[in-house]
Amino acid sequence: MYLGIDIGSSSSKVAILNARKELAATDVVNMGTGTAGPKAALENALRAAGAAREDIKYIVATGYGRINFGEADQQITEISCHAKGVSHLMKDVETVIDIGGQDAKVIKIGKDGKVKNFVMNEKCAAGTGRFLEVMARVLGCRIEELSDLAERSVHDIPISSVCTVFAESEVISRLASGAAREDVAKGAHNAIAKRIMGMCSRVGYEPLLAMTGGVALNRNMVKLMGIELGQPVIAAPYPQAVGAIGAAVFAYEKSERAAERAAEA
């Protein structure tokens, strides 16, 4: 079996593939690098796959915490792993929009799931999951409720700030002047969609587009992204674990290649 682990700043994700390159298990733990998260996700996934540590032939680590994960055979960036993961799950996708807790990236996929080109958010948390977390807090709801809240919106209220800190005060003053929570929630979603749209244009996006990362669990965000782009956008299956799945695919390929090379020798 082959294992991919994606260690982010606030969560750890693990995926395991069996010998036929099929997904045997995934697990997501909401604790990131420097915590017990990676180990917990690893153990959960092994249990779900009915496997023991010795059954794992190869491990690829990715994500922000990849460097500190001693058990990996190799480290590969989350950019390559997302491209790989998406192309494993959805063959026809050419552009990936990944919005995680701390960063957002748009990746153009080439042949065999290789990265053709990518852009990542620079400098700040604008257009990331953190932005939505802050908005949910100001609107007094849980992050999971934000999507439904926005869907009930009847008026468009633009949130013009892209900076998370500015947007927070902008939202507070909107609410104070009587704006509906639903409309503000939708405005926040649109602000992200617009920001990501800029990144998509920079990378030169092509259909089909898929969304990954925690924010892809937000149905309304996926829908608004599609409206903004004027293209259908689909949420990837297991959106949070796509990086880990890509890492597991790499683990499979690396280990196969090593075996081939050994056979040749």
Q: Is the dihedral of CA 17, 211, 98, 131 positive or negative?
A: negative
37, 19, 79, 58: which is closest to 27 by C-alpha?
A: 37
**Interface map 38-77 toward other proteins (x if CB under 8 A):** --------------------------x--x-------xxx
Give the residue with the Cβ less far from other proteins, 124 or 208: 124
Q: Does 257 bind other proteins (CB under 8 A)?
A: no
Q: Does residue number 196 form part of the binding site for other proteins (CB under 8 A)? A: no
Does 264 participate in binding other proteins (rule CB under 8 A)?
A: no
Q: What residues numbered 138-177 form the site for other proteins, per CB under 8 A?
A: none
To the nearest whole angstrom, how small is the minimum distance from the Cβ of residue 125 to other proteins? Answer: 13
* Other CB atoms within 10 Å distance of the CB of residue 155: 11
Describe the chain by its helix, strand, coil percentages, rounded to 5: 50, 20, 30
d(C-alpha 235, C-alpha 246), whole Å: 16
Comparison of 20 and 123: residue with beta carbon closer to other proteins: 123
209-212 sheet: strands from edge to edge: 115-120, 104-109, 95-99, 209-212, 233-235
The residues in 104-133 that bind other proteins, with binding defined as CB under 8 A, are: 110, 114-120, 122-123
Q: Could you tell me the smallest distance in angstroms from the CB atom of residue 253 to other proteins?
A: 12
- Which is closer to other proteins, CB of 1 or CB of 104? 104
| Element at 222 (helix H, strand E) | helix 219-229
Give residues 71-100 in contact with other proteins (rule: CB under 8 A): 75-80
Can residue 21 be called a binding residue for other proteins (CB under 8 A)?
A: no
**261 lies in the site for other proteins, by CB under 8 A:** no
CA distance linking residue 216 with residue 147, whole number of Å: 11
Q: At what angle do helices 181-203 and 219-229 cross, to 10 degrees?
A: 50
Nearer Cβ to other proteins (109/135): 109
Among 204, 207, 258, 260, binds other proteins (CB under 8 A): 204
Omega of the bond leading into 208 within 30 degrees of 0 (cis): yes
The binding site for other proteins (CB under 8 A) comprises 64, 67, 75-80, 110, 114-120, 122-123, 202, 204
